[in-house]
Amino acid sequence: MGDSISLVLFSGTDDKLNAAGAAAMGRKVHVFLQYWALDAFRSDRILKDHGVAPEAGPEGAAAFQRHGGQHWSEILRQAKDIGDVEIQACSLSMDMFGLGVADLDPLVDGQEGVAAFFLHAGGPVTFI
Amino acid sequence: MTMLNIARSIDARGMPCPGPLMSLIGAIREGQVGDVIEVLSSDAGSRTDIPAWLEKAGHELLEVVEEDGFTRFDVRKAR
């Protein structure tokens, strides 16, 4: 269990999603997508600009834009290729947005309830 | 299908996740060992939550039946 981690992605801004992708590199990871993070994984929106966290301010947002780098979805795709990364959508958030699994990017493996996620979670749970 | 002797039925249809599971946990707490409890849920999360919790908590999932617009779970309190 030592090198396994569970991430709850709650926020849907590009900076936070970027951080999540990096955490997933090369280890067993369970990812649970809730609320605004789930919305960012809709296949029609995944590559759109999701902004940055409010604390960035205009200067921070500009720095993030300039810095560029790989898109978080690409980092997660690589992480899935090289490791054991399972991404599940929160069924409550799916209901809230009126989404089905077919509306989401293929990075998402399926949907589950919040209790199933916490019961399956290996190691500590990090909330982003 | 064998007829189960249902001790308690919980109609959690329309209740969002994780409500149906929480209702089931409450019913299991109050029930007697051996009781069969039926839960009706229209929440998609229940399909993963209820089996995962039962396994962890050591109770028995007797049957999962997809009905029209909801799922029926028959559960036995095992301890």
Alpha carbon distance A27, A85 (integer Å): 8
Tokens of B73: 């779970």
Q: How many domains does chain A have?
A: 1
ipTM reported for the complex, 2 dp: 0.71
Distance from B39 to chain A by nearest Cα, in Å?
A: 16
Which residues in chain B touch residue A90, judged by CB atoms under 8 angstroms apart?
17, 45
Query: Nearest-CA residue of chain A relative to B56?
Result: A119
What is the CATH superfamily name and number for domain B6-76? TusA-like domain (3.30.110.40)
A82 or B12, which is more confident: B12
Structural contact between residues B39 and B72, judged by C-beta atoms closer than 8 angstroms: yes
Could B16 and A92 be called an inter-chain contact, meaning their C-beta atoms sit closer than 8 Å? yes
The pTM assigned to this predicted structure is: 0.84
For residues B45-74, give the mean pLDDT: 96
> pLDDT tens digits, chain A, 128 residues: what are they?
457 889 999 999 999 998 887 777 667 899 999 999 999 999 999 999 999 999 999 999 999 988 877 899 988 988 888 778 999 999 999 999 999 999 999 999 999 999 999 998 877 899 99
Mean pLDDT for chain B? 94
Distance from B47 to chain A by nearest Cα, in Å?
A: 8
Q: List the domain range (segments joined by +) for residue A103.
A: 4-127
Q: What pLDDT is recorded for position B1?
A: 55
CATH of the domain at A55: 3.40.1260.10
